[in-house]
Structures are given as structure tokens and as C-alpha cells.
Structure 1
Amino acid sequence: MYANGGDEMEKPIEKALDECLFFSVKKLDRMLNKLADEAFRKTGLAPTYGFILLILKEKDGIPQKDIAQMLYSAPSTIARFVEKLEYKGYVKTVSEGRLSLVYLTEQGRQFTKEVDGSWEELHQSYKAVLGNEASKELAEIMNEATDKLQKK
């Protein structure tokens, strides 16, 4: 196959894509999203909503912008998620100057027990396939790569 349109023979495109970090990460992302959607289905929420609740369980009353940073999401995206969680009665927001602080409600605190179960189910589903050690190593490698690319 002539992937570059020239005379020099190159790798088949499938192999080139498999060796590309960008496409490999996207492929893994899609697979993990399927596992996460399945694990969180019983909560009635998409996984990101659950992750916000789990963050608040540990760090109640933090600014929305901090949640956005922790989840590598745009603040406007997190604002929409928080709005829906507030509508469902799981969180409340309090404005302090320019900051919008997010707190779990008692209903939200109780609901995090169900979310904890989904979080554990997600971990078990990929560890069952990849193995505990490989899952941990893969997460470490990806976090190191993320840190290096952020500093670029």
C-alpha cells in the first residue's frame, strides 16, 4: 500500500493507525466509555455525573472550576452537569463572590453509595480483562504521558 501516494511502500494504514498513540488512546477511550456506561447505567446517570458526585464526596464545597480541572473538562461543560445534578436534588451551588461552590445534598450523599458500586463495577470490568497489575501500569503510563505533554 502506498499511504503517502508516492513510490515508497509504507505500512498498511491499519498498522500505522495501531502504532499511532492518538488513535490507540481514542480506541481505548471508546472501549472504556462502553464499560463505564454499562457500569453506571443502573444509576440513571452518565459516568461523568457519577465522577462529580464522587469528587464532592471527598471534597465537598469546591469550586466548579476545580471540578473541571480534575476531570479535564471545560468549565462550561461541568456547569451543565452540575445544573442537572442540582435539578435532581443531588447537589446545591452557593455563590461566593466570583466562585460557584458545589455541595452534596443529603440525597446526593446517600446516592454516592450507589455511585461507589458503579465505580467499583467499572474497575472490576476492565481488571477482569486486563488484569489488576496491567490496569495499574497502563494508568501510570498514561498519567506520566499526560503530565509530560502538559508541560510541553
Structure 2
Amino acid sequence: MSMKTSDSQYAECLYFTSSALARKVEKMANECWKQVDLSPSHAYLLMAVLEEPGMQPGNLAEQLQLTPSTITRLIEKLEEKKLVIRTTEGKLTNVYPTPKAKDLQPELRNCVHEFHTKYTSIIGKEESIRFVKTLTKIADKLTD
């Protein structure tokens, strides 16, 4: 018999509940992004670079709410896959999408759409919108 999170003694614990949610969302997201052979983190970084070619790693870290070292690892992996290139001018590093990344853009959009459709079909469209807004507000309050 499977126990629901709401039945758990930890149901009112932010850490337990947010971790359980993160694992479930991660699993769902990984399924959607599998078709482009990228993790969700790699895909969202790539989409940010496609939207704004020449982004600096620090801006990517801020936008994606990841540490600079994580951003560096993600960029390195995308470079290995020939999806981004880095240029350095003095102390400034800029990240650009490759033609291969630009060709992948429609598939990336499809993954975003598929992921959104999956979770809104479970949670509901209006609830999804409210929930993401609430999570964003909470994340902004819980600064590092």
C-alpha cells in the first residue's frame, strides 16, 4: 500500500515536502528532455543562450539560480556536445549557441510544451499558474 505525502508525519515540513516534490518533478522533466539527450538543466541553459546569444556565465547563474561552478560544468558539457562555444575578451566570457543548437531549438520548445502539458494535466492549468507564482515568491524570499 502506497502512502501519500499528505499522510506522512513530515507533511508539514518544508524540507521534506519540497524535496519530495523536486524528485517527482525532476523525474517528469527528465522524461520530457530525454528525447533531445539533455538534462533539464542543460536544456534550460541552452535555451537561455539561444534567447540571448553572448550571455555571460554569471548572468546565466543568476537567471537559472545555479552556482557559477554548476554553470561552468553545464557549459563544458554543452561544449562537448557542440551546442555552445565560449569566447573570452579580457575578463569577460560570453557563451554563444552553435548552428547545431539553433537547429535543435524547435525540439527544445516541444520539450517545454510537453513538460508543461504533463504537469498541467495533473495539477490543472490555473492551479499550476498559482503554484509556480507562489514558489517563485518563496524562492525569492529564501535568498542564499
TM-score, structure 1 length as denominator?
0.86
Which structure 2 residue ranges, 5 or more long, are not aligned?
1-6
* CA distance in structure 1 between the aligned counterparts of 2:105 and 2:68, rounded to whole angstroms: 22
Indicate yes or no: 2:57 matched with 1:46.
no
1:102 corresponds to which of 80, 95, 99: 95
Kindly report structure 1 stretches of 4+ aligned residues shifted beyond 3 Å. none
| Number of the residue aligned with 2:71 | 78
* CA distance in structure 1 between the aligned counterparts of 2:103 and 2:26, rounded to whole angstroms: 25
Q: Deviations over 1:62-105 (max 9, x none)?
A: 10111111111111111111111112111110012222210011
Indicate yes or no: 2:23 matched with 1:30.
yes
Q: Deviations over 1:50-73 (max 9, x none)?
A: 101111121110101111111111
| Number of the residue aligned with 1:141 | 134
Which structure 1 residue ranges, 5 or more long, are not aligned?
1-12
Shift, 1:32, TM fit: 0.4
Larger-Rg structure? 1
| Number of the residue aligned with 2:3 | none
Indicate yes or no: 2:104 matched with 1:116.
no
* CA distance in structure 1 between the aligned counterparts of 2:84 and 2:25, rounded to whole angstroms: 26
Task: Quote the RMSD (CA, aligned, Å).
Answer: 1.5
Which residue identity is paired with 1:91?
A: V
| Number of the residue aligned with 1:91 | 84
* CA distance in structure 2 between the aligned counterparts of 1:96 and 1:28, rounded to whole angstroms: 41
Q: Deviations over 1:110-138 (max 9, x none)?
A: 11211111111111110010001101100
| Number of the residue aligned with 1:55 | 48
Which residue identity is paired with 1:94?
A: T
* CA distance in structure 1 between the aligned counterparts of 2:95 and 2:78, rounded to whole angstroms: 10
Q: Number of aligned pairs?
A: 138
State the percentage of identical aligned residues.
31
TM-score, structure 2 length as denominator?
0.90
Farther-moved stretch of structure 1 (80-89 vs 27-36):
80-89
* CA distance in structure 2 between the aligned counterparts of 1:124 and 1:47, rounded to whole angstroms: 16
